[in-house]
Amino acid sequence: MASEFEKPRETPSLHTITRVELEDCGSSSTVCQSRYQRWAGSIKNLEIRGIEPVPPEDRQKPTTSDSFHMLLIWFSMGMAVMTRYFMGYYPNKVCCLLNVLTNLGYGMINAMVGGQILSKLSGGSVSVIVGIIIVALGSGIMATFGMRIFHIYERFAWLPQLLTFCILAGSAIPQFDLHTKSVGSSDEINAKRLGFFSLCMSSALSWAPSAADFYVYYPSTVRPWKTWLVTTIGGCGAMMISLLLGVGLGTGVASSARWQALYDGTPGSLLMAGYDRLGVFGKICAFINVLTVVSNNGPGSYSMAMNFQMLGDYWSRIPRPIFTIASTVSYTACAIGGRNFLYQIFKNFLPLIGYWIVIWFTIAVEEDVLFNRCRGYDWTIWNDWRKLPVGVAAGVSFLIGWAGAIVGMDQVYYTGPVATATTGGCDLGIWLGLGFTAICFPALRLLELQMLGR
């Protein structure tokens, strides 16, 4: 008998799936017209939809600007369900919890940065704590009302934010140090460069488990390759601009006595140093940068609620806005408590994000390309654990990938044997995690299909 891997599979197209079919295959707790849904539906523009797929009739109409709007999202700021199709129903819950922790961590960091900027803008009259609360409130409101509000916001927010980065570059570039040579042997320098690149990659990859959530209201006629292309270009473009400016500002602190006097160890003071020459206009630009922090946190809080609802039917009965509010309160409290330790939190937290996400991403790519052959998925089984992949291969590969990450990691709390043997010390956790997973998953998945058939 041919295995599932060998059979051509026909899956229902999302163009032909109706609202009734999507609701029939979901849990009754997520689709019933509860008292809460009737009450929430009376609030204008409040999004009450949870993790259930969006039927075609509820999506926005196709327009010629769809791709442009996708691109702009990444200059201004339900993957959880999709993960079930390659991680399995139960292993997916682990990824959902990890993604919650990821978004909580970034929410905390962004709130701290925004609070520091607001405090610097006010000359200290607004405390960092008050600034954190203001940023968190803005982010929470955007996340509570949902993606439709966010899409309206990003259509207009990207331009002033991009302009302020250009103004920052023009103001700060004279202080950038472009001439000092790196110190150390060539092996040590290369190790540090690879470590920095891995850190930047961790930051960029953190959007991968949530990115699909931001497109749930786009029409199903949008081509997958186009979605991937504009998302990659938008995400990489935005990351490169901010990272290059960050590197330049960092070199300015080392070379400028004026900046050294202004810098107190916080990102807010560094940003204000970059705008120092512009006076009041520079403060206006810095305030616009605070709006960038808000647009970054909003989608993360939105995705956290989705991930909580993916933990099971009991969790899915809780309305999404409650999870959004709870998540916002959680990272706000953490930001207030850790506001004086931002650098240490960022340095120790960020690499751990990259480890699990690159392992998850490797499994997703190999499942879609090698086994599913990019043919799409049967969306009518999204909530049926009896038909979804068992997840044994993905779960074991995930653990093996983590073993690779551990032996290659170089952090203050642990240094793996491979990292120790590297000249100059370099965190190779991301790369070994990717390699271990990429090698073992195809064989394990093929065995799983032959033995279990799904």
Asked whether residue 240 is assigned to any structural domain, the reply reads yes
Separation between Cα atoms, residue 366 and residue 108, nearest integer Å: 32
- This prediction has a pTM of 0.78
Decide: 114 and 132 in contact? Cβ < 8 Å: yes
Per-residue pLDDT at 396: 94
The string of pLDDT tens digits covering residues 422-454 is 877 788 889 999 999 999 999 999 999 888 877
Q: How far is the C-alpha of 266 from the C-alpha of 13, rounded, in Å?
A: 50
Q: Which pLDDT score is estimated for 147?
A: 67
Q: Which residue has the tokens 């990444």?
A: 74
Question: Is residue 377 situated within a structural domain?
Answer: no
Domain hosting residue 37, numbered range: 19-346
Query: According to the model, what pLDDT value does residue 71 have?
Result: 47
The pLDDT score that the predictor gives to residue 444 is: 93
pLDDT of residue 348: 72
CATH code at 120?
Answer: 1.10.4160.10
Q: What was the pLDDT predicted at 48?
A: 56
Q: How many domains does the chain have?
A: 1
- pLDDT at position 406: 92
Residue with tokens 């949008």: 222
Whether 137 is in a domain gets the answer yes
Residue 133's pLDDT is 93
Those residues of the chain that have pLDDT short of 70 are 1-81, 146-147, 212-214, 216-220, 342-343, 346-347, 350, 374
- Is position 279 within any domain? yes
Q: With the CA atoms of 390, 392, 398 and 400 taken in that order, what torsion angle do they form, in degrees rounded to the nearest 10?
A: -170
**pLDDT score for 319:** 81
Contacts of 252-256 with CB under 8 Å at 24 or more apart are 252/172, 252/175, 252/176, 252/177, 254/177, 254/180, 255/175, 255/176, 255/177, 255/180, 256/175
In a domain, 141, yes or no: yes
- Collapsed DSSP state (helix, strand, coil) of residue 277: helix
Q: What is the sign of the dihedral through the CA atoms of 174, 279, 292 and 67?
A: negative
Task: Tell me how far apart the alpha carbons of residues 239 and 439 are, in angstroms, rounded to a whole number.
Answer: 29
Is 410 in a helix, a strand, or coil? strand
pLDDT at 15: 46
In the chain, the N- to C-terminal Cα span, in Å, equals 14
**73 phi, psi to nearest 5 deg:** -55, -40
pLDDT, residue 7, reads 42
